[in-house]
Amino acid sequence: MPLSLTATRELLSRLGHSPRRFLGQNFLIDGNIVRKSLELAEVGPDDRVVEVGPGLGTLTRTLLKAGAEVWAVEKDPTLFAHLGAELPSARLHLMEGDAVEHPLAGLPADGADFKIVANLPYAISTPWMDGVLGGALPTRMVLMLQLEAAERYVAAPGTKTFGAISIFLQSAFAVAPGHRVAGNCFYPKPDVDSCLLHLVRRPAPFVFPVAAKQLIRGCFQQRRKQLGALLRGRLPDNGAAWLESLGTAGLTAQARPEQVPVTLWQSLAEHPALS
């Protein structure tokens, strides 16, 4: 169970620690959300679970109690030391470090299935997800995110929030029903609501080659430009055949990047110069 608001304040006081906004330190104080996270992720005995930013260990304790083996990465040295002292367990593999540099918290690359259950700081949500999508893919992810970050992940083509990370994520994962989370479930209370996002790996996930990712990111960095102009000089044939294929979606070379469906971006990634 999470610490109550009073207990959270008292523990932070004993540790001499003030929550750090730049690290996204908003500590969960609602037990229903912890239970919902494990329920959505279908965590059970002997599951391998990656956790990002375990903080005071609320979610970590619950994962261990459920019988999971946990790999967790914590950047804050005070909280890292506290977790090591409070949660001694052979099933907890705790790493001190940056989650962007260690998106899977040191999980062995042995091909075995794993899940991710994490409370992601807003500032690292996109680079961390890029890191996850560049390696072995979890079977499920249940992520606590600021609503704005969650909306970017699941944005549909034709919307202002649709971008490169939307394409890469939706090509590998399907979005399952999640759960909106109010700010008063955390201490300190954030200024915005959050979302418990539930992602399930697709039966045949599409993973973009590095060169294709770079090209697509470049297109969205100039998202007001037309695709014909964006691809000129970036591909040997200027992407002529792919631009022609946009007609299947009722588009032309004058379309903007956010108008193109995910499946057509996947077909661009199969261009010989990018694969």
The number of beta carbons lying within 10 Å of the beta carbon of residue 100 is: 17
Task: Kindly provide the residue ranges of all beta strands, DSSP E only, lying in 182-227, ordered along the sequence.
Answer: 186-187, 194-201
Range of the domain at 185: 5-201
Q: Which residues pair with 184 in a beta bridge?
A: none
| The two structure tokens encoding residue 28 | 């969960």
Domain stop point among 170, 201, 232: 201
| 3-class SS of residue 255 | coil
Number of domains, the chain: 2
Does 233 lie in the same domain as 97? Answer: no
CATH number, domain containing residue 264: 1.10.8
Place of tokens 């588009």: 251
Dihedral (CA of 259, 263, 265, 268) sign: negative
Does 227 lie in the same domain as 171? Answer: no
Residue 10 in any domain: the answer is yes
Residue 105 in any domain: the answer is yes
Give the whole-angstrom CA distance, residue 265 versus residue 261: 7
Does 163 lie in the same domain as 41? Answer: yes
Q: Taking CA 81 as the corner, what is the angle to CA 79 and CA 86, rounded to the nearest 5 degrees?
A: 90
Residue 275 in any domain: the answer is no
CATH number, domain containing residue 58: 3.40.50.150
- Going residue by residue through the chain, which has 275 residues, state the pLDDT in tens, using 9 for 90 and above: 667 888 899 999 999 988 887 777 889 999 899 999 999 999 999 999 999 999 999 999 999 999 999 999 999 999 999 999 999 999 999 999 999 999 999 999 999 999 999 999 888 999 999 999 999 999 999 999 999 999 999 999 999 999 999 999 999 999 988 889 999 999 999 888 999 999 999 999 999 999 999 999 999 999 999 999 999 999 999 999 999 999 999 999 999 999 999 999 999 999 999 98
Residue 136 in any domain: the answer is yes
Q: Which residues pair with 194 in a beta bridge?
A: 146, 181
Residue 274 in any domain: the answer is no
Residue 35 in any domain: the answer is yes
Does 180 lie in the same domain as 242? Answer: no
Domain stop point among 163, 178, 201: 201
